[in-house]
Amino acid sequence: MNIEHINTQYEQMVYVSALPHTSVFTSITFYGFFILLLSICCLKTMADLMDTRTKGKHLSASDLKLIIQLYVVGSLFISFTGAWGASSIMAFTTDYLRLYEQAENRQQQLVHWKQEYAEPYLQKLPESNYHVLQIENQGPALPDQSFPLQIIYEKDGRAVSDNDHYTVLIDLPAGSKPLLTTVHLDHGLGPVQASPDKGFEYEPGEYHKALHLPSGYTFKSNAE
């Protein structure tokens, strides 16, 4: 399983499920405004014609016919407006439910992609070990039992500071020095094409960070 295959699976499973769809509400609104504008133009034309023909004289039979036609058109216009309003509400509801289902589907596909492709790939990467020089607790443990820590560790002969969430394991003999283990990802996994401010679901960098401590070890808190 290589990176190209993993990213292809991401595009097929996650990215495609997030593609935009044609909005029913937008379509109905567009056609509704078009018909509404056309109806208003017709009503104005008939009203102007009636005003011209009735000004200064009694209503004739043709004038009465015109008024009846105006009434019929106005009634149809009111009926159409009500129907259009109801259709718009239904279309908006349909669009909202579709977007909600789409977001739920994308999240499920994303979780599946991570479990089936991304995480197994990360687990197969070579693990690196670093001697920890200083540990400072930044807060309480999270629900996943990781800890927010600020760590200074030695890498390639220099001290590196890192502030992140770490899995803490008490698995070293007493008196041993703390050890940091990570895996390094050289290339991003999961290209997020739909988001301009995010390149990958997994950006290049360090993952599976675990802090190994000796039994009885205590590290200082930032409150100290």
Q: Which of 93, 122, 151 is the last residue of a domain?
A: 122
Q: Give yes or no: residues 91 and 161 share one domain.
A: no
Q: Which of 105, 122, 139 is the last residue of a domain?
A: 122
pLDDT at 4 over 70: yes
Q: Give yes or no: residues 70 and 170 share one domain.
A: no
pTM: 0.61
Q: Give yes or no: residues 27 and 75 share one domain.
A: yes
| DSSP string of 130-176, one letter each residue | EEEEEEEE-SPPPTTSEEEEEEEEEETTEEEEEEEEEEEEEEE-TTP
Q: Give yes or no: residues 8 and 108 share one domain.
A: yes
Distance of CA 8 to the CA centre of its chain: 20
Q: Give yes or no: residues 138 and 210 share one domain.
A: yes
Q: Give yes or no: residues 38 and 17 share one domain.
A: yes
How many Å is the Cα radius of gyration of the chain? 34
- Residue 10 CB: number of other CB atoms within 10 A? 25
Q: Give yes or no: residues 64 and 104 share one domain.
A: yes
The total domain count for the chain is 2
Q: Are 122 and 6 in contact (CB under 8 A)?
A: no
Reported confidence tier of residue 147, pLDDT bands at 50, 70, 90 = confident
Of 110 and 1, the one with more pLDDT: 110
Q: What is the mean pLDDT of the segment spanning 169-195?
A: 87
Kindly report the CA angle at 220 between 216 and 223, in degrees rounded to 5? 145
Q: Which of 73, 88, 122 is the last residue of a domain?
A: 122
Note the pLDDT tens digit of each residue in 29-66. Answer: 555 566 666 666 666 655 655 565 555 555 566 655 66
Q: Give yes or no: residues 16 and 61 share one domain.
A: yes
Q: Give yes or no: residues 89 and 166 share one domain.
A: no
Q: Give yes or no: residues 102 and 141 share one domain.
A: no
Q: Are 146 and 165 in contact (CB under 8 A)?
A: yes
Token couple for 101? 């289902």
Residue range(s) defining the domain that contains residue 9:
3-122
